[in-house]
Chain A
Amino acid sequence: MDLDPLVLSRIQFAFVVSFHAIFPVFTIGLASYIALIYGLAFKTNNPKWERLGAFWTQVFAVVFGMGVVSGIVMSFQFGTNWSNFALATSNFLGPILSYEVVTAFFLEAAFLGVLLFGRGKVPNGVHFFAALMVSIGTFISSFWILSANSWMQTPAGVEVRDGFYHVVDWSAAIFNDSFWYRFTHMGLASFLTGGFVVAGVSAWFILEKRDTELHRKALSMTLWLLLIIAPLQVFVGDLHGLNTLKHQPTKVAAMEGNWETQTNVPLLLFAIPDQEAQKNHFEVGIPSMASMILTHEWDGEVPGVKEMPRELQPNVPIVFWSFRVMVAMGMLMVLFAVTGLILRRKKAYARNRWFLQGLRLMSLAPFLAVLSGWFVTEVGRAPYLVYGQMTQAEALTPSLTGGMALFSLIGYITVYACVFAAGAYYLTRVIRAGTEAAEQHDDNKHRAKRPLSAAEADFD
């Protein structure tokens, strides 16, 4: 195999962005949770909320720190590997990404310091306010970046002159056709991530019989939240899919594994899509169900992948299976949220070992769902980068050679592996140290204003 800079750049981009994505979804959800806890602490003056807040703030500090370092890499990727894309779309993406920096990143950075190190230095109300500002910052950040990404999926408000996109209508470009769906779906995904991680960690503490009362309380609260947002996510996901059907029918066809445009399309539970033969093997499905979901009629017509010539088709197996993983995780989440409701009687949810063990495992589910969701979105858009207008091949940096791309790919994998193994190790240390440790170190004066330094557990 010779070194194709395009393939290598795609792998590299998928690797670094997936890596980055893990951290924001968690920080966005957790920031809101922390703001909520400090809000309760402020209102009730109950020290147990302070303790819980301090514990999760430590976890937050580590995850946020890793989000920042991996994010900085992202902002240079566009230029290093996709310079033709960067140049052509700069009139839109440049201002959008700059707005993200000035409206979100500075806000997060400034109030993060007060959130992490301000306890005791500022009044409790102000500390709560800082927590709130950080969480708002994370949402502003996702607003801009998802606008940029949605625009690449459903470009609007621009015209092309001499190979450059020129913005003719800013609000049409920013609030493009898929933006609100993506923003809502991603926002809920972040809450689900925060929620399931908190639930999983609380369940672990309960199983370990440590600080049980506090974690039972936290678990109960979180289960109520999940009961609302898990089903809501399924509903929003459905709307998102219907919208995609309108704008990117081929992507939906790939998600459904539907090759021919036809009526009475079954909902496939299992299949092995074969891109070469342009058909599926071993199909197992519910008759006419996909037609029903997508068109609300049993005999509704659903577009097929073959509408597009072979070279304009996305990789069907990846899209098909990623979509199934995401939906399966979504359904599992609903299942756990509802089970939590059933176990409400006599607080059985805090005693049932099966349920608690299950919750521990479920803390990985949102990450799986988020990554596979992005794989559906991004691989399903292939071979386009700006949907219908610019392909990945056109976007590639012209001077990039296979050797350069291989060098940086191996480099990033090595650097990330070292650094993030250390980070993950450290995170488990923080969690093991538990809420009890968070209480002992209430005096913050001796520490500097750095994210990870807020965490108290020792490294080794």
Chain B
Amino acid sequence: MSEPIFDLTYVWAAIIAFGVIMYVLMDGFDLGQGILFMLAPSEQDRDIMMNSVAPVWDGNETWLVLGGAGLLAAFPLVYSIFLPALYIGVFLLLAGLIFRGVAFEFRFKAHSSRYLWNWAFAIGSTVASFAQGAVVGAYIQGFETENMRYVGGALDWLTPFTVLTGLGLIAGYALLGATWLVMKSEGSTQQWAYRLVKPLLAAVLLIFALISVWTPFVDPFVAERWFSHITPIWLLPILALACAFWIYRSIQAKREGTPFIATMGMFIFTYLGLLASKWPYVVPPNYTLSQAASAHESQLFLLLGLLFVIPIVLVYTAWTYWVFRGKVKADQGYH
């Protein structure tokens, strides 16, 4: 919307894209604990599941806030169209996150009401994951806009397609959560987590296959991008499938850390594939990155500060991780 000497829009696009995948990976594995929570064989497994993510959950929430504020700063049009269009979904997301957040805190103190907090944690996490997945679907579908405003209805975002993407993300987060648990736990909990991985992987692959077949029909732009000619982006789904195979192999071999890394890889390549499908549209089908960007001065003002502040943030964050280094063990439950 302004005439800069050098364009920061793509720098900001990279920053936001990075922030989003950071959020997805980090909150993904702990939302995954919630999704799998009520399936766990025993209350002790649940203790371990919660303990395994308790130390990191806090920071993940801050990434989400940064995502919101960062979008407002760099791509205000995305902020001001997505949120109204997804009004009901955003409410569900926030309500889910609230219940889940406080369940984290209260469950360990509760005795007779513990089952209530268990369910609050499980349902809150699942609803929040579904809402996030539906956002992805809604993004693929596109938004009805006019003169930079959303003009569609309250439930336009809720279609069979977005329900499928919502379920897809639930399955995906559950897979991340299961492989995380394989890495972080031992004994019977770990055995249970090992058993979960293959069925979850199958579910994820099935849903992702359905989504991939369906997407070009939802949006001709995507069809054009992928099928009009031979393109290097074909590599992305191939790499994602390779990661899926890697997960399978590492589970067969009973590796502990590898399945989690491989799952992250699968997420990253799928995510890049999604970005490639829509590039350069951020508010499809009408607005591109540069049309959605904020004023150059504002992008610059924030970027200069970030360059200075972020290294400091990283230093003290790393320091606090160092203070709390070491594993959370099974017998270190709460009282």
Complexed CA–CA distance, A180 and B148 (Å) = 35
Known A-B contacts A407-B91, A419-B99, A446-B334; A98 and B83 likewise in contact (beta carbons under 8 Å): no
Complexed CA–CA distance, A460 and B115 (Å) = 13
The answer, yes or no, to whether A449 is at the interface (CB within 8 Å) is yes
The answer, yes or no, to whether B79 is at the interface (CB within 8 Å) is yes
Q: Which residue of B lies closest to A397 (CB)?
A: B84
| Number of B residues with CB within 8 Å of any CB on chain A | 77
The answer, yes or no, to whether B150 is at the interface (CB within 8 Å) is yes
Residues of A within 8 A of B229 (CB): none
Complexed CA–CA distance, A450 and B107 (Å) = 12
The answer, yes or no, to whether B81 is at the interface (CB within 8 Å) is yes
Known A-B contacts A83-B81, A164-B1; A91 and B91 likewise in contact (beta carbons under 8 Å): no
Residues of B within 8 A of A403 (CB): 154
Complexed CA–CA distance, A397 and B149 (Å) = 8
Complexed CA–CA distance, A97 and B298 (Å) = 12
The answer, yes or no, to whether A458 is at the interface (CB within 8 Å) is yes
Q: How far is the CB of B128 from chain A (nearest CB, A)?
A: 11
**From B55, B99, B149, contact of A415 by CB (8 A):** B99
The CB with the most chain A CB atoms within 10 A, among B55, B72, B328, is that of B72
**B76 and A90 within 8 A (CB):** yes
Complexed CA–CA distance, A419 and B100 (Å) = 10
**A399 and B109 within 8 A (CB):** no
Interface membership of chain B positions 295-335, coded 1 if the CB is closer than 8 angstroms to chain A and 0 otherwise: 10110011001100110010011011001100010001111
Q: Which residue of B lies closest to A448 (CB)?
A: B54
The answer, yes or no, to whether B236 is at the interface (CB within 8 Å) is no
Q: How far is the CB of A412 from chain B (nearest CB, A)?
A: 8
**From A94, A407, A452, contact of B105 by CB (8 A):** A452
Complexed CA–CA distance, A99 and B301 (Å) = 10
**A419 and B102 within 8 A (CB):** yes
**B68 and A76 within 8 A (CB):** yes
Residues of A within 8 A of B77 (CB): 87
**Which residues of A in the span 415-434 have a Cβ within 8 Å of any Cβ on B?**
415, 419, 422-423, 426
**B151 and A398 within 8 A (CB):** yes
Complexed CA–CA distance, A33 and B256 (Å) = 45
Complexed CA–CA distance, A76 and B335 (Å) = 36
**A99 and B302 within 8 A (CB):** yes
Known A-B contacts A78-B72, A109-B58, A459-B113; A411 and B91 likewise in contact (beta carbons under 8 Å): yes
**A114 and B320 within 8 A (CB):** yes
**B302 and A95 within 8 A (CB):** yes
**From A90, A167, A426, A448, contact of B109 by CB (8 A):** A426
Q: How far is the CB of B69 from chain A (nearest CB, A)?
A: 4
**B317 and A106 within 8 A (CB):** yes
Interface residues on A, range: 35 or more
The CB with the most chain A CB atoms within 10 A, among B77, B110, B150, B320, is that of B320
**A400 and B87 within 8 A (CB):** yes
The answer, yes or no, to whether A38 is at the interface (CB within 8 Å) is no
Q: How far is the CB of A22 from chain B (nearest CB, A)?
A: 16
The answer, yes or no, to whether A84 is at the interface (CB within 8 Å) is yes
**B108 and A453 within 8 A (CB):** yes
**From B68, B148, B333, contact of A446 by CB (8 A):** B333
Q: Which residue of A lies closest to B94 (CB)?
A: A73
Known A-B contacts A86-B76, A94-B73, A98-B72; A76 and B94 likewise in contact (beta carbons under 8 Å): yes
Q: How far is the CB of A157 from chain B (nearest CB, A)?
A: 11
Residues of B within 8 A of A93 (CB): 72
**B298 and A91 within 8 A (CB):** yes
Q: How far is the CB of A388 from chain B (nearest CB, A)?
A: 22
Known A-B contacts A399-B151, A400-B84; A94 and B76 likewise in contact (beta carbons under 8 Å): yes
**Which residues of A in the span 55-86 have a Cβ within 8 Å of any Cβ on B?**
65, 68-69, 71-73, 75-76, 78-80, 83-84, 86
Known A-B contacts A92-B298, A403-B154; A69 and B55 likewise in contact (beta carbons under 8 Å): no
B residues contacting A by CB (< 8 A) are 1-2, 51, 54-55, 57-59, 61-62, 64-66, 68-70, 72-74, 76-77, 79-85, 87-88, 90-91, 94-95, 97-99, 101-102, 104-106, 108-113, 148-154, 294-295, 297-298, 301-302, 305-306, 309-310, 313, 316-317, 319-320, 323-324, 328, 332-335
A residues contacting B by CB (< 8 A) are 65, 68-69, 71-73, 75-76, 78-80, 83-84, 86-87, 90-95, 97-103, 105-107, 109-114, 117-118, 121-122, 162, 164, 166-167, 170, 397-401, 403-404, 407-408, 411-412, 415, 419, 422-423, 426, 445-453, 455, 457-460
Write 19 A-B pairs (CB below 8 A) sorted by A numbering: A69-B98, A72-B97, A72-B98, A79-B82, A80-B87, A84-B80, A86-B79, A86-B83, A90-B73, A94-B70, A94-B298, A101-B62, A101-B66, A102-B310, A109-B59, A397-B84, A415-B98, A449-B324, A460-B112
Given pairs A167-B301, A448-B54, A448-B55, 5 additional interface contacts (CB within 8 A): A95-B298, A97-B73, A102-B305, A399-B153, A411-B95
Q: What are the nearest 7 A-B pairs in CB distance? A: A94-B73, A79-B83, A452-B105, A90-B76, A448-B54, A459-B109, A94-B72
